[in-house]
Amino acid sequence: MTTSTNLVYLIALPLFSAALLLLLGRIADKWGHIFATLISASVFVIGAIEFFAMQGRDGEARAATQKVFEWISVGTFQVNASLLLDQLSICFVLLITGVGTLIHIYSIAYMSHDHDRRRFFAYLNLFIAAMLLLVLGDSYLNLYVGWEGVGLASYLLIGFWNQKPAYATAAKKAFVANRVGDVGLSLAIMIAFTQFGTVTFAGVKEGASGASAGALTAIGAMLLLAAAGKSAQFPLQSWLGDAMAGPTPVSALIHAATMVTAGVYLITRSNFIFDASPTAQLMVVIVGAITLLFGALIGTAKDDIKKALAASTMSQIGYMILATGLGPVGYAFAIMHLLTHGFFKAGMFLGAGSVMHGMNDEVNMRRYGAIGKVMPITAATFGLGYLAILGVPPFAGFYSKDKIIETAFNAGGIEGILLGGATLLGAAITAFYMTRVIVLTFTGTKRWDENAHPHESPFLMWAPMAILAIGSVTSGFLLSSGSALVNWLQPVVNEHHEHHAEEFLPPLVVSTMALAFVAIGVAFAVLKYRTVPLIAPTDVSLFTKAARKDLYQDSFNEAVLMRPGQKLTAGLITTDYKVIDGLVRSVGWIIQTTSSTLRSIQNGYVRSYALIMVLGVLALVTAIWMVTL
Amino acid sequence: MDIANYIYLSVLLFTIGAIGVVIRRNAIVVFMCIELMLNAANLAFVTFSRVHGNLSGQVASFFTMVVAACEVVVGLAIIVTIYRSRRSASVDDASLLKR
């Protein structure tokens, strides 16, 4: 372990910038976006310096730590605000700051007409700070702070145009769904603390070897719940589609490249828990497999280009989660897919934003068509991302996704065949819906609105797209040549190369099968979308109807969670009103009624007072007489 | 003469006075009824003084007369004042106390 003094600046700089831009208000309008972009770029530079410094060290000394301050100190319970930069964190740091900076640059142009651009950049920097804290924290508690921070930034950015009620609702939906996951994370931390007495990664790792299987499974399940919330995995997936209400750069940065992959980070970081609990691992692969198919199916029926890409994100993160559930051999491939996905999906989202920018913010792909001719750079960068996500060699996805498919098959037995089949099927469906996006958007005939005058986006927008496209082409090769990433991550995820001995299918066969499936998917889409009606046809199969309705995820949530919840609150309110308040009010009512009855005696007539006096004296005399008799 | 007859008379006078207080509206009449009740009490005092053969009862009756005299002074003054302000001596009209 090396100690470093630079790590805190990774978080402090963007945090300071966010605070500055928010506090200065309109004064900073003129230079706020440039300032935020420079801060983001400088954080990337610090990250790169740290990365090269790491390369210079070897073995144990690679990971660097920095204790910022003593945070909580209660008896034996001690938590320091410490940062840990190891081989896993640095991947994320470079991804977050690198893609983040590109998206900052893109946003300068994309948001140029928005009079709240400064606030937007402040939130983006807040996100960068929170996300870096998430990946740099050396304990679950530090991670939790970043985890909540990115949730906040995500909420603020989804609801950035909160003057539209639907967007504000989408932000709330994302927040609530994430909250469910956050409860899982806090429970996992509590269980870890009761079991091991510490919440640092190192401490929990040490304790995990001697812990009971039940405790480990419980922690694993809770961590999985947390990951499902943040990464839009089944059953907490429903918020991601609506999160597309945010500005497109946000969708690219937060809801495609970085924040939604936090769940993958969490599981990879907690590899010692999952490796020790096969039950938890099984849950992880099941969730991953369900989500990868779920997202892919939704993607096939979405006409909104951003929602189609969001469904694709959900599906691709399903691949990563599945890979993390496959044990030590899967982590590196999950992270590799995460990095390549960060490039190609962010690039495609920026491409979608570029198309929207030229088409008066139209998102319906049925109103696109033949945009490739007027926006050649956007079409080219999007196309490269498309080839990457399909897994066509030698693009990035080929190296990462095929590895996941291969690893899934190698899981062995029935499980391996089921998982491998699911990933292959997912690849075919991915090919179908991504081809559909391409065909509907960039080729075919013009179906534009008459007011639309699409034009190529300015340099500040296409340059980041071009860089990301280069990443989508080369990152896979660079990361996998000589198993670079696998070896790099080896100290963190403890991979031993034992699994490679018992291969179920050789890599070549897997790649060929995957390509064949992809080709089928592409062919289907090309044949099906030779003509595109302007209005989505309604006489479609039951299956398409279900996919259009997001496989009824919202209806399910509404029927099973929302309505009973509303009933419950209504019932509780009634109980509170009738029973608890009723008790208090009835006391008042009794006193009031009694007093108003008694008050009528006080009628003000002297004669009636006299009569009562007489009667009273008579009663008194009678009583005395009775007693003495 | 049977001593009980004095007591019967006293009770009768007291009852007439009490009923008068309760049923009559005119303040003057009510006042007179109160006097009647006081004198009924005096009669009882004097009678019992005679029965017991000491003077305590007679002394008490003198006290009662003094009190009655004071009461007449104050009471009549009040009644006259009320009559002046309201042009009425009815006790039911002076029922402001309930409000």
DSSP track, A302-357: --BHHHHHHHHHHHHHHHHHHHHTT-HHHHHHHHHHHHHHHHHHHHHHHHHHHHHH
* Per-residue CA distances from A247 to A253, A451, B87 (Å): 10, 22, 87
Whether the per-residue pLDDT at A536 is higher than 90: the answer is no
Instruction: Pull the structure tokens for residue B92.
Output: 């039911």
Residue B80 belongs to some domain of the structure: yes
Question: Which residues of chain B neighbour A602 with C-beta distances below 8 Å?
Answer: 97-98
* B89: in domain: no
Cis geometry, peptide bond prior to residue A235 (ω within 30 degrees of 0) = yes
pLDDT at A373: 85
Which among A602, A603, A610 is the nearest to B22, CB-wise? A610
Task: Give the closest-approach CA distance of B94 to chain A in angstroms.
Answer: 7
Q: How many CB pairs under 8 A join A and B?
A: 30
| Range with the poorest average pLDDT among A164-173, A286-295, A359-368 | A359-368
Q: Which structure tokens are listed for A596?
A: 């108003």
**Shortest distance, CA B2 to any CA of chain A (angstroms):** 24
Tell me which chain B residues have a C-beta less than 8 angstroms from the C-beta of A607. Answer: 21-23, 25, 30, 91-92
Model confidence pLDDT, tens digit, residues A236-285: 888 888 888 889 999 888 888 889 999 999 999 998 888 888 899 999 99
Cα A285 to chain centroid distance, Å, stands at 18
Residues with Cβ within 8 Å of residue A405, at least 6 apart in sequence: A420, A423, A424, A427, A510, A514
Considering only CA atoms, which of B92, B87, B82 is closest in space to residue B26? Answer: B92
In this complex, do B95 and A604 lie within 8 Å of one another by their Cβ atoms?
A: yes
* Closest chain B residue by Cα to residue A614: B18
Which of A607, A608, A618 has the highest number of chain B CBs within 10 A, making it the mutation to test binding with B? A607
Task: With CA atoms as reference, report the closest residue to B31 among B44, B43, B17, B48.
Answer: B17
For the record, the structure tokens of B43 come out as 């009669």
C-beta separation of A180 from A225 below 8 A: yes
Per the listing, tokens 């301050």 go with: A69
Of all residues in chain B, the one with the smallest CA distance to A611 is B22
CA distance A612 to chain B (A): 9
Can you tell me the distance from the alpha carbon of A204 to that of A272, in angstroms, rounded to the nearest whole number? 8
- Cβ pair A447, A325 in contact under 8 A: no
Q: Which residues of B touch A601 (CB under 8 A)?
A: none
Q: How big is chain B, counted in residues?
A: 99
pLDDT per residue over A217-239, tens digit each?
999 999 999 999 999 898 888 88
Give the total number of structural domains in chain B.
1
User: Which site among B21, B36, B88 would you substitute to test the A interface, given the most A Cβ atoms closer than 10 Å to its Cβ?
Assistant: B21
**What is the secondary structure of A177-203 as a DSSP string?**
HHHHHHHHHHHHHHHHHHHHS--BHHH
Whether B6 shows a pLDDT value over 50: the answer reads yes
Q: Assess whether pLDDT exceeds 90 at residue A97.
A: yes
Assess whether pLDDT exceeds 60 at residue A82: yes
Cα-Cα-Cα-Cα torsion A251, A253, A258, A259, nearest 10 degrees, comes to -50
Residues in chain A with CB shorter than 8 Å from the CB of B92 are 605-607
When CB atoms are compared, the residue of A604, A611, A614 closest to B96 is A604
What residue spans of A197-277 are helical by DSSP H?
A: 201-208, 213-230, 239-242, 248-252, 262-269, 271-276
Cα-trace Rg, chain B: 16
Whether residue A501 is predicted with pLDDT greater than 50 in this model: the reply is: no
Is the Cβ pair B94, A606 closer than 8 Å? yes
Please indicate, yes or no, if residue B15 is contained in any of the structural domains. yes
Q: What pLDDT does residue A503 have?
A: 67
Upstream peptide bond of A458 is cis (omega within 30 degrees of 0) = no
What is the maximum alpha-carbon separation in chain A? 123
The CATH number for B77's domain is: 1.10.287.3510
A585-616 pLDDT, tens per residue? 999 999 999 999 988 888 888 888 888 988 99
Stretch A488-506: mean pLDDT: 67
Give the number of other CB atoms < 10 A from CB of residue A386: 25
User: Could you tell me which residues of chain A have a Cβ less than 8 Å from any Cβ in chain B?
Assistant: 602-607, 610-611, 614
Other CB atoms within a 10 A radius of the CB of residue A534 amount to 9
Asked if residue B13 is part of any domain, the answer here is yes
Residues of chain B with Cβ-Cβ distance to A618 below 8 Å are none
Residue numbers in B near A614 (CB within 8 A): 18, 21-22
Phi/psi of residue B81, each to 5°?
Answer: -65, -45
Structure confidence by residue, pLDDT tens digits, A168-217: 999 999 999 899 999 999 999 999 988 888 888 888 888 888 888 888 99
Q: For the residues of A550-591, what is the DSSP string, one character each?
A: GGGHHHHHIIIIIHHHHHHHHHHHHHIIIIIHHHHHHHHHHH
Mean pLDDT within A501-525: 82
Of A122, A132, A66, residue with least CA distance to A99: A132
Q: How far is A587 from chain B (nearest CA, A)?
A: 26
Q: Distance, in angstroms, between B38 CA and closest chain A CA? A: 14
CA distance A129 to B94: 83
Q: Do A610 and B98 touch (CB under 8 A)?
A: no
**Which positions in chain B touch A604 (Cβ < 8 Å)?**
95-99
Per residue in B64-98, pLDDT (tens digit) is: 999 999 999 999 999 999 899 888 888 888 777 66
Q: Name which of A277, A181, A161, A189 is nearest A232 in CA terms.
A: A181
* Facing residue for A611 by CB, picked from B22, B30, B91: B22
| Residues of A whose CB is below 8 A from B94 | 606
The pLDDT value recorded for residue A7 is 86
In A, which residues are within 8 Å of B98 by CB distance? Answer: 602-604
Tokens representing A98 are 């690198």
- Residue B4 domain flag: yes
Report the residue from B23, B91, B99 with minimal CB separation from A606. Answer: B91
Q: Do B92 and A610 touch (CB under 8 A)?
A: no
Give domain status of residue B95, yes or no: no
What per-residue confidence (pLDDT) applies to B35? 93
pLDDT at residue B99 tops 60: no
CA neighbor of A181 nearest in space, from A239, A268, A131: A239
Strand, coil or helix: A272: helix
Contact check, Cβ <8 Å, A604/B18: no
The residue in chain B having the minimum alpha-carbon distance to the alpha carbon of residue A601 is B98
Cβ-Cβ contacts under 8 Å, B88 against chain A: none
Task: Report yes or no: A115 and A40 within 8 Å, Cβ to Cβ.
Answer: no
Q: How far apart are CA A428 and CA A519, in angstroms?
A: 8
Domain-embedded: residue B93: no
pLDDT tier for residue A495 given thresholds of 50, 70 and 90: low
Work out the angle at residue A355's Cα, subtended by the Cα atoms of residues A353 and A359, and round it to the nearest 5 degrees: 115
- Is B78 within the bounds of a domain? yes
How far is it, in rounded angstroms, from Cα A398 to Cα A480?
Answer: 10
Across the range A360-387, mean pLDDT stands at 87
Give A-chain residues touching B97 at CB under 8 angstroms: 602, 604
Average pLDDT over residues A118-127: 92
Judge contact between A37 and A121, C-beta under 8 A: yes
In which domain, by residue range, is B19 found?
1-84
Measured CA to CA, the distance from residue A518 to residue A402 in angstroms comes to 11
Question: What is the C-alpha to C-alpha distance for residues A471 and A465, in angstroms, rounded to an integer?
Answer: 10
Q: Select from A603, A605, A611 the residue whose CB has the most chain B CBs within 10 Å, as the one to mutate to test that interface.
A: A605
In which order are the strands placed within the sheet that holds A64-74? A2-3, A64-74, A77-85
Residue A60: pLDDT above 80? no
Helices A278-299/A213-230 angle, 10° precision:
20
3-state secondary structure of A536: coil
Range 17-76 of B in CB contact (< 8 A) with A: 18, 21-23, 25, 30
Q: What share of chain A is helix, strand, coil (3-state, %, to 5)?
A: 80, 5, 20
Segment A354-367 mean pLDDT = 86
Categorize the per-residue pLDDT at A162 as very low, low, confident or very high, splitting at 50, 70 and 90: confident
Give me the mean pLDDT over the A441-464 stretch: 85
| Predicted ipTM of the assembly | 0.84
Average pLDDT, chain A: 88
Check A607 against B18: CB less than 8 A apart: no
